[in-house]
Amino acid sequence: MAAEPALLAYLGLGSNLGRREAYLAAAAARLAAAGARVLRASPVYETRPQDVPAPQPDFLNAVLEVEWPGAPEELLQRALAVEELYGRVRPAGADGAARPEPAPRTLDIDLLLCAVPGDGAAGGQLLRREEPALTLPHPRLGARAFALQPLLDLLPAETAAAWLGAGAAARAAQLAAEQGVRPWGPFPQWEPDVYTPESLLPPQRLRHVGTAVRCLETTASTNDVAREWAAAGAPAGAVVVAEEQTRGRGRRGRGWHTPPGAALALSVVLRPAWPPERLTLLPLAAGVAVARAAARAAAVRCGLKWPNDVLVQGRKLAGVLVEVLGPDPAAAGVIVGIGVNLNLPRHRFPPDVRARATSLLHESGGPVARPAFARSLLAELDALLDDLDRRPEAVAGAWRALSVTLGREVEIVHGAETVRGRAVDIDAAGALIVDTGAGGRRLLAGEITG
């Protein structure tokens, strides 16, 4: 049976909350990840809010032209899933719950038009639908300059006339003036929001990580996959990344939440021939790498809580789980597992961690490009592994500079014991030095609870 021809579809994007251009870019990135081939993007327009209660911030609007291999209903479902991923809470339905007024929205996506290309009228045969869930062309397209204007930017004049009627361009120009639609700039840079071996590795050659890369859709824990791979002979520097972890593991037997499409869950196999006092710096180095990547990729300043929690204003952005696989790490391997909350709106965290957790989306006001963040993190980790090889004191220095623990009164659970005092420094092995008032204590492991 011949395959159905791919549809040509036009999606209207809008955002009037947070880093609006980042939400437009993220929409293209996630639609591409969902299987839409993004052919072109219109310029971006800035628009006075239409059909929503005032006062609201102005929208950024644009239109994407995509090739979609399935039915328009499926594309609409994917678009709605992208909206929801980024925190747009859809009004309650027919279950009797109150429907909130349309509020400012991080991302709004409308399916404007679909056509079967190359058939019938110029530009293809326009599809028409009259269903409760989908009307095509979009019923309010002709009245909304914020959608009509960028759509017309993408359509050849003959196609526009065939699909939208003669005079569409003049009508759009008049509506644009009436509705306060004005040019804003080109569509922002974006790349598909998927982890692949190609998208994960930075252009520069890395020395320590990225020798082999496995990208998984879903797995229980990337640390477990890396452990099995290490046992089966994975090379030093092998990297495992998963879109989703179903049983992600945190320190001290806790879980780690990694929902699909929103986070980075990454594990690296290392085989370091270091003395033990250098190996204990490794978790601290991983924390420094995350903090540097967050600063570079999202301009977010992080602090490090000993030994390796990455915090933003006291809330946890990322965690590190280092597992040494045998008495001789150079042979058996060490797994460095790093979990970073990238594009999770706060309400998508499990209730038990919501108050203590944060994400780069929340801290920077919009989605970050996940593959770009991962590249940045691997490059920073690589540089720090180089430091661990050649000048480990630089790693301790980098950790001190980012520490939010040093100089504070702390309470540390260390086995059955609780140590209280002032955290004064870390030593060359990364151990925390605590002044208890009755002398100094050196702690190589433990959990700061207060």
Figure out which of the listed residues 15, 16, 221, 376 binds ligand BTN, where binding follows CB under 6 A: 221
CB nearer to ligand BTN: pick between 259 and 339? 339
Strands 108-116 and 125-126, bridge-based pairing: antiparallel
Cα 396 to Cα 102: distance, rounded to the nearest angstrom: 50
| Shortest distance in whole angstroms from residue 251 CB to ligand BTN | 4
3-state secondary structure of 24: helix
Question: Could you please report the per-residue DSSP string of 51-70?
Answer: SSPSS-PPEEEEEEEEEESS
Q: Is residue 245 involved in binding ligand BTN (CB under 6 A)? A: yes
Strands (E), 209-358: 213-219, 239-249, 255-258, 263-270, 303-305, 309-312, 315-324, 334-341
**Closest alpha carbon to 199 in 246, 255, 241:** 241
| CB-facing half-sphere around the CA of 184: CA atoms within 13 A | 23
Binding piece for ligand BTN, criterion CB under 6 A, among 80-88, 242-250, 280-288, 355-363 = 242-250
| Token reading at 54 | 């005032």
| Shortest distance in whole angstroms from residue 147 CB to ligand BTN | 40
Contact letters (x/-) for ligand BTN, 280-319, by CB under 6 A?
Answer: -----------------------------x---------x
Q: Total residues contacting ligand BTN (rule CB under 6 A)?
A: 20
- 99 catalytic? Reply is no
**Closest alpha carbon to 61 in 157, 153, 168, 164:** 153
- 224 catalytic? Reply is no
- 420 catalytic? Reply is no
> CA distances (Å), 163 to each of 75, 144, 155, 172, 179, in order?
20, 16, 10, 14, 23
CB nearer to ligand BTN: pick between 164 and 360? 360
| Shortest distance in whole angstroms from residue 321 CB to ligand BTN | 4
Q: Is residue 219 involved in binding ligand BTN (CB under 6 A)? A: no
| Shortest distance in whole angstroms from residue 307 CB to ligand BTN | 10
Q: Is residue 265 involved in binding ligand BTN (CB under 6 A)? A: yes
CB nearer to ligand BTN: pick between 25 and 368? 368
Figure out which of the listed residues 12, 150, 333, 339 binds ligand BTN, where binding follows CB under 6 A: 339
Helices (H), 138-257: 145-154, 157-164, 168-179, 197-200, 222-231
Q: Is residue 192 involved in binding ligand BTN (CB under 6 A)? A: no
Catalytic residue among 19, 30, 78, 88: 88
Q: For the purposes of burial, counting CB atoms within 10 Å of the CB of 167, is it exposed (0-12), middle (13-18) or buried (19 or more)? A: exposed
Bridge partners of residue 321, in order along the sequence:
337
Say if CB 199 and CB 192 are below 8 A apart.
yes
Helices (H), 56-167: 72-85, 145-154, 157-164
CB nearer to ligand BTN: pick between 13 and 322? 322
Q: Is residue 262 involved in binding ligand BTN (CB under 6 A)? A: no
| Shortest distance in whole angstroms from residue 450 CB to ligand BTN | 17
Figure out which of the listed residues 16, 42, 50, 222 binds ligand BTN, where binding follows CB under 6 A: 222
Figure out which of the listed residues 320, 325, 368, 402 binds ligand BTN, where binding follows CB under 6 A: 320
CB nearer to ligand BTN: pick between 64 and 266? 266
- 387 catalytic? Reply is no
Sign for the pseudo-dihedral over CA of 120, 121, 126, 128: negative
Task: Give the count of beta carbons closer than 10 Å to the beta carbon of residue 280.
Answer: 21
Q: Is residue 371 involved in binding ligand BTN (CB under 6 A)? A: no
Q: Is residue 356 involved in binding ligand BTN (CB under 6 A)? A: no
- Kindly list the residues in this chain that would bind ligand BTN in the complex (CB under 6 A): 221-223, 245, 248-251, 254, 256, 265-267, 309, 319-321, 337-339
Question: Which residues are the active-site residues?
Answer: 88, 105, 108, 110
